[in-house]
C-alpha cells in the first residue's frame, strides 16, 4: 500500500511552485484560486518573495498547502494518476494535515486556504512575540527529550512539540524554559539543541487561544467525507470519520505532532511506500524512522512524469 504525505512549516522557499505554474494550467488555477480565497497575491510572494513575507506564519501555511495541492493537481490532470486510486491513505505534518484533508476532498481548496490563513494568524497572536520559543534537539529520542523538557520547565511551559524521527525531537514553550533546555542538552545525553527561527511556540499549551479560534472556525466549516483515511498527528492513528477528525484538528494546535509514531502506525498497517508531494522534508525523516520504507519526493514536472511512468 502507498501513503501520500504532505510537508509542514519550514518547507517554504521563494520560487516555490513557479516552475509548475509556468508549465501547467492546472497548477496556475490552484494558485489563482488561493489568491482569490485569501484576497491577496500570495502566489506573487511565493514566486518572488520577499523571504520574510513568505516566512510569516499566516503566509507560509497556505503557501505550503497551495504548492502541494498544485503538485497533486498536475499529477492528476496532466499525468492521469488519481490520488484515491494510487494511494491507500494520507498524512501530513502539522499544517500538512489540512493539505492532506484537501487532497482527499474533506475540504475544498478555498476553505483550506482560509482555514490555514486563520490558523497562522491565530497561532501568531496567541503568544506575544519574544515570549515563546522552540528548539530542535538533535540526537534525542522521545524519552530523553521528555526528561529534558521536565528538567528545564521550572514552572514555565516546556513541552515536546514534534516527535519527528528517532534522532530529532522539537520542544516548545516559554523562551526562558527553552533556553534552559538548550543549555542542559549535554546533561541529558543529547548531542545538540538548536533554537529555531520561529515567531511563536507552536504545538504546546501556550497555543490554547489559537485552538479556541480554530474550534470556532471548524464548527462553521467542518470537514466532509474523506476519500481515503488520514493518520492524525495527535493520535498517530487512522481516522475516517469527519467529526472525529475535526476534534483532532483542534487538539493538534496545542498537541504533539506524533510523526514518528504515525509512520510506524502506517508501516504496521502495511504501507510500503511513501510519496511526499511538494517537498523533500518528510522523506528523509521517514527513512530515519524505518530504513526499509520506500520514499519518493514529487516536486518538479520531471518528478511527476517519472512517477506517472512507473505507476501508470
Instruction: Answer for the pair 138, 195: CB distance below 8 angstroms, yes or no.
Output: no
Burial 57-82, CB ≥16 within 10 A → b, else e: bbbbbbbbbbbbbbbbbbbbebbebe
Would residue 93 show up in a list of annotated catalytic residues for this protein? no
Nearest to 72 by CA among 226, 298, 311: 298
Instruction: Confirm whether 188 is a catalytic residue.
Output: no
**C-alpha to C-alpha distance for 130 and 198, rounded to whole angstroms:** 10
Going 286 to 264 to 182 to 123, the CA torsion angle's sign is: positive
CA distance 299 to 269: 27
Which helix (H) or strand (E) segment is 134 a member of? strand 132-138
Helix 109-126 with 208-220: angle, nearest 10 deg: 160
Give me the catalytic one of 93, 203, 262, 297. Answer: 203
In whole angstroms, what is the distance from residue 55 CA to residue 49 CA? Answer: 9
Q: Which of 11, 24, 43, 94 is catalytic?
A: 94
User: E strands, 166-300, where?
Assistant: 168-174, 192-195, 230-231, 238-239, 273-277, 294-298
Query: What does the angle CA 266 – CA 272 – CA 273 come to, to the nearest 5 degrees?
Result: 100
- Name 284's Cβ contacts closer than 8 Å, sequence gap at least 6: 295
Cα 190 to Cα 39: distance, rounded to the nearest angstrom: 45
Question: What residues are annotated to the active site?
Answer: 94, 203
Amino acid at each position: 500500500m502507498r501513503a501520500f504525505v504532505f510537508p509542514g512549516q519550514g518547507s517554504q522557499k521563494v520560487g516555490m511552485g513557479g516552475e509548475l505554474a509556468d508549465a501547467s494550467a492546472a497548477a496556475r488555477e490552484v494558485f489563482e484560486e488561493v489568491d482569490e480565497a485569501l484576497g491577496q497575491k500570495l502566489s506573487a510572494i511565493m514566486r518572488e518573495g520577499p523571504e520574510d513575507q513568505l516566512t510569516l506564519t499566516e503566509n507560509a501555511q497556505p503557501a505550503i498547502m497551495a504548492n502541494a495541492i498544485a503538485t497533486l493537481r498536475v499529477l492528476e490532470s496532466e499525468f492521469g494518476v488519481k490520488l484515491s486510486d494510487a494511494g491507500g491513505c494520507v498524512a501530513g505534518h502539522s499544517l500538512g494535515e489540512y493539505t492532506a484533508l484537501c487532497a482527499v476532498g474533506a475540504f475544498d481548496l478555498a476553505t483550506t486556504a482560509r482555514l490555514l490563513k486563520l490558523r497562522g494568524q491565530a497561532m501568531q497572536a496567541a503568544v506575544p512575540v519574544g515570549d515563546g520559543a522552540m528548539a530542535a534537539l538533535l540526537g534525542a529520542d522521545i524519552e530523553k527529550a521528555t526528561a529534558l523538557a521536565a528538567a528545564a520547565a521550572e514552572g514555565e511551559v516546556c513541552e515536546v512539540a514534534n516527535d519527528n524521527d528517532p534522532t530529532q525531537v522539537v520542544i516548545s514553550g516559554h523562551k526562558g524554559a527553552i533556553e534552559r533546555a538548550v543549555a542542559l542538552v549535554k546533561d541529558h545525553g543529547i548531542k545538540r539543541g538548536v533554537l529555531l527561527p520561529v515567531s511563536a511556540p507552536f504545538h504546546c499549551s501556550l497555543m490554547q487561544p489559537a485552538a479556541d479560534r480554530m474550534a470556532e472556525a471548524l464548527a462553521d466549516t467542518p470537514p466532509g467525507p474523506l476519500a481515503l483515511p488520514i493518520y492524525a498527528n495527535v493520535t498517530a492513528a487512522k481516522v475516517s470519520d469527519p467529526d472525529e477528525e475535526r476534534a483532532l484538528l483542534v487538539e493538534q494546535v496545542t498537541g504533539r505532532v506524533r510523526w514518528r509514531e504515525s509512520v510506524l502506525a502506517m508501516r504496521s498497517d502495511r504501507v510500503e511506500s511513501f510519496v511526499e508531494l511538494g517537498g523533500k522534508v518528510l522523506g528523509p525523516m521517514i527513512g530515519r524512522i524505518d530504513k526499509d520504507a520506500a520514499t519518493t519526493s514529487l516536486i518538479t514536472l520531471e518528478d511527476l512524469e517519472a512517477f506517472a511512468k512507473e505507476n501508470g
